[in-house]
Amino acid sequence: MTLPSIIIPQYTKEMQVITQLVSEHGWGSSYAVNSTDISIYALANCYQDLPPNDCVQCFLISCSTLPTCLPAVSGRVYLDGCFIRYDYYNFFGETTDSFKDKVNCSSSFGRAVTDSDQLALAAAAGNLIENVTKKAINENDGYAKGKLNGVYGLAQCWRTVSKQGCRECLDKASEAIKGCLPNRDARALMAGCYLRYSTHNFLSHHSQATNKGLSKGVIIVIVFAMIAFSMLFLFVAYVARKKSLKRKQEFINLGKISNSYKRSSLNFKYEYLEKATHYFDPSTIVGQGGNGSVYKGTLPNGKVVAVKRLFFNTRHWVDEFFNEVNLIHGIEHKNLVKLLGCSIEGPESLLVYEFVPNKSLDQYLNDKNKIKVLSWKERLHIIVGTAEGLAFLHGGSDMKIIHRDIKSSNVLLDENFEAKIADFGLARCLAADKTHLSTGIAGTLGYMAPEYLVKGQLTEMADVYSYGVLVLEIVCGRKNISLAEDDSGYLLQTVWKLYTTNQVTKALDPILKDDFSPEEVSKVLKVGLLCTQASVTLRPSMSDVVQMLTTFGQPIPEPCQPPFLRSSSSIKRFVSDTLSKLDESCISSAMHSSSDGPHIN
């Protein structure tokens, strides 16, 4: 155990620094690094209405809570008075994190029941959220609190976040937290900020400042916190060291890729793409993939491109980069996003694609405002186009390409609403002489085929299953799995019940009204059910699907009951349990002013 003994003294010194900073200024950030280049970054931030002694006590409580995040290599603790986070990379400027940000719709104070109560709460909470976020961004250095018609609110950006970052974080937080209504209490726990509304006056218990010294009990907490942090750092340092060794090997692999592409026509200079995106200005972001952000860029010749920026701390980023470049750089099809090139020589790797102006399909299906409603004709065109793209990928005589993550956010739409399959980071090749691949589970819950989810057996039929789920979502205009409290949470279940009673057209998105052909809707939903059969042998190939959808009078076999058709509560429990197991970091939301108690994800 030589490595931890080298790091602990320096780490303890850094923690003393951050403790001093919190006691003096209400916040502090620091990092510890040793001769092996292993770094631990930490940030603590009290909310600005907290008196100094209360701030220190809140900080110490959060310190003692943080070890519950083990064995994760990163963690966050949100208390009603402060926030603390540790990680092995510099996160100080982060505003949002699509994987780890969360909204807690608390049930401690119940829900507004009557229509009038719900309207009153929605109006008061909505206006209050807008008021405190606006004040925090524009007037009060990232912090604001307020009260309106019996609703209390607080907004706080971390002090390491820029004003623009604070705006982005609170805008996203306010949009997300409004989804908790009519709950009377909710919190948005973001990478760069914290936002809460409640009908309970959670602000009052912080209003009384005190000049008394720290009590004996607090001193005990300080000692415990320092011991807990030392134990935490021992573990993190060990894991970080293993990650460091693995990272070195990944850089070696990347070097091999780099040598192959430096002199090829696929290679773009990093500076060239940096200028094209205005130095990765946040205003040019057009999408967020599973392993990086996508920026709109304009090359000197006027050509508009999409630049995907892959960060080195993304899990398996070398593997995914290799897939993106080597699997699709030579593939051309009207229903696949074309890869134009890449850049490997800068601080992060970049992939360059053709620009697809109408963004992703999910933004139309999940748009609550329905700014643009996809007609039945457009939906059918997208369904057929996606099928043709997958049939092309699966159609190789020597090698089949399995996408492994077909979903609405990975289907882009061009200016004519032609479907284009994107994001091949998880794709795998299946040789013609192989029946399947045995591989670790990757993809998106709700779209993964049962044989792959349970046994890890991957074939092109996993894509067929995902496609079937996508078809049902496009036709019905809703997500496959909803964690709402009503019993209509599982789309596959709903469509199957309607199909067995000859009412399948009732599953159609009601916003389409009469603008559709009942025969076409029935046929497409039948194809969707057929693609989601539990048995691999009962699912059609994607080439067969194209024939069924495009050939008049083509016979379609009768589907059997799809898999996982059980009660919605069981489905939700299954999804929640699986999400918890797949989460690689710890986010602890300890609500000491409510009866919820600590929440560890």
One domain, residues 451 and 545: yes
Neighbour tally for 258: CB within 10 Å: 16
Lowest-pLDDT range of 57-61, 406-410, 569-573, 577-581: 577-581
Q: Which pLDDT value is given to residue 203?
A: 82
> How many domains is the chain built from?
4
Last-in-domain residue among 354, 371, 403: 354
Q: Is the pLDDT of residue 522 over 60?
A: yes
Residue positions counted in the chain: 601
Task: Examine residue 248 and state whether it is found in any structural domain, yes or no.
Answer: no
One domain, residues 322 and 376: no
User: Which residue, chain included where needed, has tokens 């194809």?
Assistant: 527
One domain, residues 422 and 288: no
- Confidence band (pLDDT; 50, 70, 90) for 225? low
Q: Is the pLDDT of residue 273 over 80?
A: yes
Measured at the alpha carbon of residue 551, what is the angle toward residues 549 and 552, in degrees to the nearest 5? 105
Distance CA 98, CA 158 (A): 18
Task: Examine residue 40 and state whether it is found in any structural domain, yes or no.
Answer: yes
Partners of 187 in the β-ladder: 104, 196
Task: Examine residue 504 and state whether it is found in any structural domain, yes or no.
Answer: yes
Asked if 192 contacts 95 with a C-beta cutoff of 8 angstroms, the reply is yes
Task: Write out 56-77 in H/E/C secondary structure.
Answer: HHHHHHHHHHHHHHCCCCCEEE
Please give the positions annotated as active site: 405
CATH number of the domain that 477 lies in?
1.10.510.10
CATH number of the domain that 226 lies in?
3.30.430.20
Sign of dihedral through CA atoms 541, 547, 552, 555? Answer: negative
One domain, residues 451 and 534: yes
Q: Is the pLDDT of residue 519 over 60?
A: yes
The alpha carbon of residue 95 and the mean position of all alpha carbons in its chain are separated, in whole angstroms, by 14
Asked if 267 contacts 350 with a C-beta cutoff of 8 angstroms, the reply is no
Task: Examine residue 324 and state whether it is found in any structural domain, yes or no.
Answer: yes
One domain, residues 410 and 541: yes
Q: Is 292 helix (H, G, I), strand (E, B) or coil?
A: strand
Omega before 182 within 30 of 0, i.e. cis: yes
One domain, residues 198 and 218: no
Tokens of 252: 């070696």
- Confidence band (pLDDT; 50, 70, 90) for 184? very high
269 labelled binding-site residue: no
- Confidence band (pLDDT; 50, 70, 90) for 80? confident
Beta sheet of 304-310, edge-to-edge order: 285-289, 292-298, 304-310, 349-354, 339-343
Backbone φ and ψ of 299, nearest 5° = -75, 160
Last-in-domain residue among 312, 338, 354: 354
One domain, residues 60 and 186: no
One domain, residues 586 and 558: no
Task: Examine residue 403 and state whether it is found in any structural domain, yes or no.
Answer: yes
Task: Examine residue 250 and state whether it is found in any structural domain, yes or no.
Answer: no
Q: Which pLDDT value is given to residue 394?
A: 94
Q: What's the one-letter identity of residue 557?
A: P
One domain, residues 124 and 180: yes
Distance CA 543, CA 331 (A): 18
- Confidence band (pLDDT; 50, 70, 90) for 60? confident
Task: Examine residue 449 and state whether it is found in any structural domain, yes or no.
Answer: yes
CATH number of the domain that 271 lies in?
3.30.200.20
DSSP 317-359: HHHHHHHHHHHHTT---TTBPPEEEEE-SSSSEEEEEE--TT-
Top-ranked range on mean pLDDT: pick from 26-40, 460-474, 485-499? 460-474
Eight-class DSSP state of 360: B
Task: Tell me the residue range of the domain where 123 lies.
Answer: 105-208
One domain, residues 77 and 122: no
User: Which residue, chain included where needed, has tokens 């496959």?
Assistant: 480
One domain, residues 224 and 330: no
- Confidence band (pLDDT; 50, 70, 90) for 527? very high
Angstrom distances, CA of residue 81 to CA of 92, 102, 354:
19, 18, 47
One domain, residues 502 and 474: yes
Largest CA distance in the chain: 84
Asked if 64 contacts 224 with a C-beta cutoff of 8 angstroms, the reply is yes
Please write the tens of the pLDDT for every residue from 361-411. Answer: 998 998 777 778 999 999 999 999 999 999 999 987 678 899 999 999 999
Task: Examine residue 249 and state whether it is found in any structural domain, yes or no.
Answer: no
